[in-house]
Amino acid sequence: MKYTLSVLVENQPGVLSKVSGLFARRGFNIDSLAVGVTEHPEISRMTIVVNGDEYIVEQVEKQLNKVIPVIKVKVLQPEAFISRELSLIKVNCNTKQRLEIMQIAQLMNAGIVDVTTNSLTLQLAATAEETETCIALLHPFGIKEICRAGTIALEKGSGVTAPSGKK
């Protein structure tokens, strides 16, 4: 099962290596990890997707809390958060195929960010599942390159994961 964690950390050098090292050391499997600064410049948010069971995710949460620059760890409840993944997909495309691919792009809410005579690059911001679907639809044309950023997530509703210190 996949779990999505929202982790607020102090925005300082070395934090990423402390967190990723912890995962490697304790044998936790990271599906994806995305990090970026928050509305407070001194705080970054990491969105981590881990693969595991309840025991693993509890351990991940507790061990992350022990990392000193980690301010808050929240395991997001399924259905209670919005998640997006950004992808750039470069696909083979001759003039005849262009229209068809543009239709797929429209269907999937993807933008076209680069065109050449024999390729087309799509930009997609979607859930992990939608991204998989889009890739599957483009597959028959021949995918040249894919670049996917890790999942980012926020809780639904007006509430926030505030840096109020650890539990």
Partner 1 sequence: MVSGAEIMVKCLELEGVQIAFGYPGAAICPFYDFLYQSNIRHVLVREEQNAAHAASGYARSAGRPGVCIATSGPGATNLITGIATAYMDSVPLVAITGQVNSELLGRDVFQEADITGACEPFTKHSYLVKRAEELPRIFKEAFHIASTGRPGPVLIDVPVDVQQAEIPEFHYPEKAAIIGYKPRTQGHALQIRKALEAIEKAQRPIICCGGGVVLAGAREELIAFAKNSGIPVCATMMGIGVIPMDNPHYLGMIGMHGRTSANRAMKEADLVILCGARVGDRAVSAPQQIAEKAVVVHIDIDPAEIGKNMPVDVPIVGDIRIVMRALADQVKNTVPQEWLDQTLGYKKTYPSRGEPRTDSVEPRVFIRDLSPMMQDNAILVADVGQNQIWAARNFNVKEGRFLTSGGLGTMGYSIPAAIGAKLAKPHRQVVAVCGDGSFQMSMCELGTLCQEGVAVKIIIMENNRLGMVKEFQDRLYGKRYMATVLKGDPDFVKLAEAYGIPAARAETNEEAKQLAARMLETDGPFILVCAVDPDVPSI
How many residues in the chain?
167
Q: How far apart are CB 6 and partner 1 at their closest, in Å?
A: 14
Q: Which letter does DSSP use for residue 97 in this model? A: T
**Residue 53 found at the interface with partner 1 (CB under 8 A):** no
Contact 19/46 with Cβ under 8 angstroms? yes
Which range touches partner 1 (CB under 8 A), out of 51-59, 93-101, 102-110, 147-155? Answer: 51-59
Interatomic CA distance for residues 66 and 88, integer angstroms? 36
Interatomic CA distance for residues 35 and 20, integer angstroms? 12
Query: Which residue from 62, 129, 143, 145 is in contact with partner 1, where contact means CB under 8 A?
Result: 62
Q: How far apart are CB 64 and partner 1 at their closest, in Å?
A: 9
The CA–CA distances, whole Å, from 10 to 19, 69, 75, 101, 113 equal: 12, 5, 18, 43, 34
Q: How far apart are CB 81 and partner 1 at their closest, in Å?
A: 22
Query: Which residue from 69, 74, 88, 127 is in contact with partner 1, where contact means CB under 8 A?
Result: 69
**Residue 71 found at the interface with partner 1 (CB under 8 A):** yes
**Residue 45 found at the interface with partner 1 (CB under 8 A):** no
Residue given tokens 């509703």 in the structure block: 157
Interatomic CA distance for residues 135 and 104, integer angstroms? 10
The residues binding partner 1 (CB under 8 A) are: 9-10, 14, 17-18, 21, 25, 55, 58-59, 62-63, 65-72, 163, 165-166
